[in-house]
Structure 1
C-alpha cells in the first residue's frame, strides 16, 4: 500500500481542493471551497486575515461551510464561527486482501441520486448533496428495488482516499452490511495503491469501535467549525 507523506492528511480539505478534486471546487490560493452541491467543506491556506477575507468572498449572505482545524477558530472579521465538535481522523493500518461477497452490491450513479439522498435523510450519516457522488465511487445494496445501504469515496488526495456516507436503513441493521461495503471499498482503494481513511465524531463510540474492528486507527483529532457569513 502506497504511503506518501502524511502531511496532506493534516489538511485533508485543502489538499483535496488543491489537487485531485480542484475541479469540484472554487476559490484561489488563499481560500477554497467545494461547490455547494458537492460538499459543505472549505479551507484556507493559512489562518491570516487575507485568507479569511478570501473565504468571506466565496460565501453568499447567510451561507455556511465547515472547516477542519487543529485549534478552535475564533475572531474572524466578517464571519461567524461556531464550534461543532471534535472529529477523529482514522486511517487503515493494513491492506484488506480477503475475498468478500459482492454479488448483491451495485455501483451507484446519477440515476440513483434521489434514492441516495432519501437514504441519507433517513440515516443521517453526514453531509451529502446532489453532486457528492461525483467525488468518487459509491456502491450500495438494494432489496426489492429499495436502496437499503451504501458507502462511498469522498475526499481524494495523493495516496489517500476517504471512505464516507456509510449508512444502512434502520430496518436492515445488524446484518454486517456497513462493514461489508466498507471492506469492498477498502480493497478497491488498496488495489489502486492508495490508503483508505475516514472521519468520525469523537463521541460516536459505536462507529469508532466498528472502524477499529475493520482495521482503522485514530490518527489525528480536528476541531470542526461551522463558518457562516451573516445575512445582509
Structure 2
C-alpha cells in the first residue's frame, strides 16, 4: 500500500485515484479533474502530456499541470504555456494551540454562490462553483454575510489539502483566517488524515502557516496553460 509521503509527491494524481476518482478524466495515461470542478492535471510520464493536454483543452480554455519536478511536454500548435508558478507544499508537523473566538460554521450548498464571489473578490483566478464539491468548507459570518472561509481541495484516504483561505478586505487583521485554518486542521485530524496545503514561494502567509504548525516539505509547481 502506498504511504502518504509517496502520495504527496503527486497529490493531484493520487486524489483522482482515490477520494476524487468520480471527478477523474483519464487521457493517454494522464489524469485531469473534470473541467467544471478543478482545472488540474497530473502525470508520471511527461511524454504523454502533449496528446492529453491537446484533448483536455477542447473543454477547458486553461488548466494547470501540477508537478514536483517534471516539465510537461505540450503541442504548441494547440496549447501554449501562460506561466510557471513556483509553488511549495506544506505539511502539518504539530498543530499549535489557537483560541477560537469566532462562531465557525460548516457551509452547505446554500453558500456556493457566496463562496464563489468571495474567492473571486480576494483571489481571482480558477476557482469554480463546483470546486465546492471537493471537500468541506468552513466559514465565519458577520453582519449577515460570509466574510472568511477555509476550504478543502485535493484529498485521498491519507491526506486532505486546505485551500481557498480568503477573507473579505473589510474584515482582515482580525485573526479569522488563523482560526479557520486551525479549525479545518482539527477536523482533518479527526478523520485520521494528514493536513497539507500549497502556496506560492515567498507568500507572506507562509509565516502564518508555520506558526500554526505547518512546515515546508517540497516544491510543487503549477504549469498554467491555455488554448491557442
Deviation at 1:44, TM superposition (A): 2.3
Deviation at 1:125, TM superposition (A): 7.0
Aligned 8 A contact 2:150 2:177 in 1: yes
Aligned 8 A contact 2:49 2:74 in 1: no
1:179-220 deviations in Å (ceiling 9; x for gaps): 10010011110111101000000021x210110001011111
Measured at CA, do residues 123 and 62 of structure 1 come closer, stay the same or move farther in structure 2, by a change above 3 Å?
A: closer
Aligned 8 A contact 1:126 1:165 in 2: no
1:150 and 1:134 map into 2 onto residues whose CA distance is 15
Aligned 8 A contact 2:89 2:196 in 1: yes
1:29 and 1:194 map into 2 onto residues whose CA distance is 31
What's the counterpart of residue 149 of structure 2? Answer: 150
Kindly report the root-mean-square deviation, in angstroms, between the aligned alpha carbons of the 2 structures. 2.2
What's the counterpart of residue 229 of structure 1? Answer: 227
Deviation at 1:72, TM superposition (A): 6.3
2:32 and 2:74 map into 1 onto residues whose CA distance is 17
What's the counterpart of residue 209 of structure 2? Answer: 211
- Name the count of aligned residue pairs: 225
1:189 and 1:4 map into 2 onto residues whose CA distance is 17
TM-score, normalization by structure 2 = 0.89
TM-score, normalization by structure 1 = 0.88
Q: Does the residue aligned with 1:84 lie in a helix, a strand or coil? A: strand
Measured at CA, do residues 176 and 102 of structure 1 come closer, stay the same or move farther in structure 2, by a change above 3 Å?
A: closer
Measured at CA, do residues 136 and 124 of structure 1 come closer, stay the same or move farther in structure 2, by a change above 3 Å?
A: same
Instruction: Please list every run of 5 or more consecutive structure 2 residues that lacks an aligned counterpart in the other structure.
Output: none
1:112 and 1:177 map into 2 onto residues whose CA distance is 18
2:70 and 2:183 map into 1 onto residues whose CA distance is 35
What's the counterpart of residue 51 of structure 2? Answer: 53
Measured at CA, do residues 99 and 223 of structure 1 come closer, stay the same or move farther in structure 2, by a change above 3 Å?
A: closer
What's the counterpart of residue 63 of structure 2? Answer: 65
